[in-house]
Structure 1
Amino acid sequence: MTPTHFPDAAAGYRPQFVRQVLDDALGQGARVYGIAGLQGTGKSTLSAQVAALAESEGRRVAVLSIDDFYLDQDERQQLAREVHPLLATRGPPGTHDVTLACETIDALLAGRQVALPQFDKIDDRRLPRDAWPVVRDCDLVILEGWFLKTPPQDPAALAVPLNALEREQDPDGTWRRYCNDALAHDYGPLWRRIDRMLFLQGPAFDVVPGWRWQQEQTLQAANPGRQAMSRPQVDRFVQFFERTSRQALDTLPGIAERTIRIDAHRDPIP
């Protein structure tokens, strides 16, 4: 099988696979198609490839990322003060503007003109609204994200810390209970807007730190005058996502309409 040559984002997934994914979306009549997979899986790359193929055939596509709906810094800082300091860090359940995500999708489906939120990961804040791209009248919305439709854990499973971050900074479980409660109560309206979902199932969570570091290197290369995260910072960052990521690996194969296993090189496994 021809390798995808990640982290070279220009290589992406093989054209045959991109074709299959687009056919899966269109063949089922999905208006909102979800692409789920852990950090570094290549969701953004695949989403862009699928959109480009669809547009080459005359279809209008809007690509949304769950990452662009992070709460802004001031909102997360407020959560950090009122609930737990770890909520200052973007990404885990409970740190997204679900209402904005739902409103954006609804506007797209209704054919209204809508500005698509954009989040600057190096500055760790949402871009000003006048920098958001404006679109309307799309035939297909692709929503990509690392924990789409992931259900909450049983509360009993939260008792034992999973990694050093939880042991040292959340010993009483306040942060992980907040994130788990958010999964249980906040994201349902957004998940219900997804008509069909593909899950890119990586081999294990152990590959995520390396994949996420590749992403950060790509981000740094695209922004040479700015400072992205270092490798130690990335290794700490992925600990924020470990619990929900492992839950996604355990549950999403039984939830997604289609699951494709990928190996450590991000090649689909037949």
Structure 2
Amino acid sequence: MGLDKAKSETDSFKKKSKVIYDNYLLKKNIPYGLGVRETFDHFHNPKFSEADTQGFFIFIHGGYWQGEVKDSYAFVGEKLLEQNIDLILIEYDLTKENTVDGKTIPRVGMTALVNEVGRALDAVQKYLQTNAASEKPVYLAGHSAGGHLAAVWKDHPVVNKAVFPISGLFDLAPIAPTKKIGTALQLNANEIINLSPVNNIHTANAASLPLYLYYGGNEQPELKEQSQHYSARLQDCHHKVSMKEIPGVNHFEILNALFADPDSDLLRRIAK
């Protein structure tokens, strides 16, 4: 799709997300660790009582594990917040050194990054329990690299309703040797196997949640095949899984298609 178009898309995300921060932010940068990026944000619609919240939608942003910030993705919560479903955005460290507010954030390895997101979900679980919200529906979603992280942690006990991996990356084997993405990841052979959700699917049981996979019709073949392969493996292990191609959208436009259209498959499933 080209870097210019990708930048244009992500710039539009930032503008739309600022509106959500200005109108719905309840608590920002709640820490789950000691690192600068080890935080999450909680959004709530002030039209509703906090005690009457109808659920929580946890979202993990993408960026090929090497870039992006949670602050650019609050826009995914607009329609959900209108339905009195709170949004939680998770931040995490990256496999490339970054500078944030003039401070250097060192890179972390992929294993550390994955474990960090697990700690974030642990902290969200404790946070909800502390705020007497642990019995409410909790959904987990992620886009691109965030789709990978959502799939890795699909069985985390804080999630009790459904998991939504969007344009996710579920098999690291074809990604590891690539120059633009794989070089920075520095994956070893064990990580390629152990951190690929497609390799780590247990047989479904009574506690297994439904998974709803989405990818764009205009995405690269490899990205489509990642979801198709993962969906097939989930079905082999008797998981409840739905996979949909969203026609006419690319890797970024799919977020608008799923979260701006109140009649989208994702929003309709949550509304039910």
**Which TM-score band (shorter chain)?**
0.3 to 0.5
Whichever structure has more strand as a proportion of its residues is 2
TM-score, with length taken from structure 1? 0.39
Larger RCO, structures 1/2 (Cα 8 Å, 6+ apart):
1
TM-score, with length taken from structure 2? 0.38
Whichever structure has more helix as a proportion of its residues is 1
